[in-house]
Amino acid sequence: MRLDKTEISLGLVALACVLFGFVSPGWLIFLLTIALAKALVVQGVVMQMRSGLVSFGQGLFYCIGGYTVGMGGQFFGIHDAIAALSLGMFVAIVVAMLLGLLLTRYREIFFAMLSLAFSMILFGILVKSQELGSTDGFNVHDWTLFGWAPEAGAGSQHTVFTMTVVSGLIVAVLIHRYTKAGIGVICEAVRENEVRVEYLGLSPRWLLYGNYVAAAAVSALGGGLTALATGHVDPEMAYWTTSGEFVFIALLGGLGHVAAPFIAAIVFSFVRTYAIEFVPHTWQMILGFTLLAVIIFLPKGLWSLVSREKTGERA
Amino acid sequence: MTSLLAVLIDGSIYASWLFLVAAGLTVIYGVMRILNMAHGSFYAIGAYSAASLVGWYFNNGMGPAWVSYLLLVGAALVAGLIVGVIVERGLLRLMYGRDEILMVIITYALLLILEDGMKIVWGVSPYFAYQPYSELGRTSLGLLKVSNYDVALVGVSALLGLGLWAWLERTNQGKVLRAVIHDREIAVAMGVNVKLMFTITFVLGTTLGALAGALTAPAISVVPGIGIEVIVLAFAVVVIGGLGSIGGAAVGALLVGLSRAAAVHYAPEFELFVIYGVMSLVLAFRPEGLFGRTLARKI
């Protein structure tokens, strides 16, 4: 297995992150963990965007991942973090395989609306289920890692951070390889012109289906990690505004590079933390104007700021 | 029997409310191909304007109550007109011709801006304008008591639907608008001022949204976030009926209204589920909605 330049740099950055985790203050660790976990969900959104589909319902799988981790500890005695996360991904894959059969028949706004509807269905069910704490959600049970229980508080926070960085690295490398592979390139062809891809003898629908299921798994991983980090899950995870946030981060980063969603999510989390503290009632307004500015001035996202120089040289 | 009657009454009241909310959304999509995520914010702006105006009226002058109904409608018209013109001229005009899905995201940005804009203008504490609601009293139907305001809402909604239909199908301007819906480019070639039609349509849509909010305001407490709740319901209604079809929106509203009322009475835990359940079911069999047109794929 040969590593290319991107993979090596991703690995180095991840290593630096893990080391940074040992010296950084707790609040920063927490913030970064949530940002990176969200970035995983955004990776799911971006995977679908590359083939032209905008999901306004990725919160569905974020929520499934989170609730599975929570319920696993609460009701089924699954306390091992890896097992719980895998279970979350498994449940998400099963759900996505079913919903995908229907959803892949739709494009553009219809895909967006229908994915939104499915996530709202889950929201509706969770809000009405008393056993799961209704609108309040419930707390995630203390968890272990291969039988080892990290001490509550700082210790477990640090462990989740490391797990998130490692998951992020694995997902990033996998997605990077996927986008560079032939089948990943076809995704972009599907976005540009689906009918022509069909003429070439490929089935865009099954490609989109595969994308949808893979995106679901990645997003569920992000949701599970968020649940472990915050120690709490609530139905808000499936509400459509949560999904809107993921779309926002995806557009902010752009589709140019596998690292873009991570950077965008970190920028987003920092700006939000400070904006909510200093200007609580104009935070969404700032988001709105930023989104418009990105659409108008940086249609390829923040990443185009980084990559602009290179294309400039070539031209 | 009583519970069936209750479902029918609750269902039609809810349906007429849904239609009010969804009508503007579907008109805008039909003509401009913009799925307007900010529609819920127009609803909220209408509700806020009406609630603050009516609240002010009752707190300061003890004038006759019927004036408050005029104020409700007047507040909605003014608010819808102002916001509609500003948004269409100031933002959307710069964005025409982009992908439908990008327009969704642009109006999502607009929603975020308007949500906080409302917090700046009206603050975060709730507004009440219950007087127009309580003033009309209640009617007994067997064992049930129904608020007259809600019944009046059914009438208003039906009138509005008929009015829209008559405008589209029976007037010259409506005919021109249908030409734009049918084929924008040919309409331009035939000398239709499409830009003007867009402005008219968008302002009409925002005003309808604001009107829905204003008429709802007396029945609820107007708080931040009401628009965000409403927009997904409106989406469900118009998607069921077929985007852009007014008749479709009416049928969608009835379908959602009645099934939600049935769920509330017989299986309350499925209240929210049933709305999106109906939507998914309809879309599974008719992707373009019940009354939507099927479009050919372009190469």
Domain B2-285 has what CATH class?
Answer: mainly alpha
Question: Is A275 inside a domain boundary?
Answer: no
Distance (Å) from the C-alpha of residue A109 to the closest C-alpha of chain B?
6
CA pair distance A288, B105, nearest whole angstrom: 10
Question: Is A261 inside a domain boundary?
Answer: no
- Compute the mean pLDDT over every residue in chain B, rounded to the nearest whole number: 82
pLDDT in tens, B276-292: 888 888 877 877 777 76
Beta strands in A220-310 (DSSP E): 232-233
Distance (Å) from the C-alpha of residue B244 to the closest C-alpha of chain A?
13
Task: Name the residue of chain A whose CA is nearest to B268's CA.
Answer: A128
Q: Which residues of chain A have pLDDT under 70?
A: 1, 147, 152-153, 302-315
- Which residues from chain A sit within 8 angstroms of residue B271, using beta carbons? 124, 128
pTM of the model: 0.84
Question: Is A254 inside a domain boundary?
Answer: no
Please report how many Cα atoms fall inside a 13 Å half-sphere around the Cα of residue B99, on the Cβ side.
13
* Phi, psi (rounded to 5 degrees) for A153: 85, -125
**Residue A198, token pair as written in the block:** 């069909």
The count of other CB atoms within 10 Å of the CB of residue B162 is 11
Query: What are the residue ranges spanned by the domains of chain B?
Result: 2-285
Specify which residues A145 forms β-bridges with: A148
- Whether A292 sits inside 8 A of B119 (CB atoms) is no
Quote the pLDDT of residue B140: 77
Domain residues for the domain of A159 are 5-246
- Whether A118 sits inside 8 A of B276 (CB atoms) is yes
Question: Is A272 inside a domain boundary?
Answer: no
- Whether B120 sits inside 8 A of A282 (CB atoms) is yes
Give yes or no for a contact between A302 and A251, defined as CB atoms under 8 angstroms apart.
Answer: no
Quote the pLDDT of residue A61: 93
pLDDT in tens, B142-189: 777 777 777 788 888 888 888 888 888 888 888 888 888 877 788 888
| Domain total of chain A | 1
Helix (H) or strand (E) holding B147: strand B144-147
pLDDT in tens, B42-100: 999 988 888 888 777 777 776 777 777 777 888 888 988 898 888 888 888 777 777 77
Give yes or no for a contact between B249 and B237, defined as CB atoms under 8 angstroms apart.
Answer: yes
pLDDT interval class at B8 (50, 70, 90): confident
Helix (H) or strand (E) holding A233: strand A232-233
Question: Is A296 inside a domain boundary?
Answer: no
Give yes or no for a contact between B111 and A116, defined as CB atoms under 8 angstroms apart.
Answer: no
Burial class (CB in 10 A: 0-12, 13-18, 19+), A143: buried
User: Strand, coil or helix: what is B289?
Assistant: coil
- Whether B112 sits inside 8 A of A247 (CB atoms) is no
Question: Is A194 inside a domain boundary?
Answer: yes
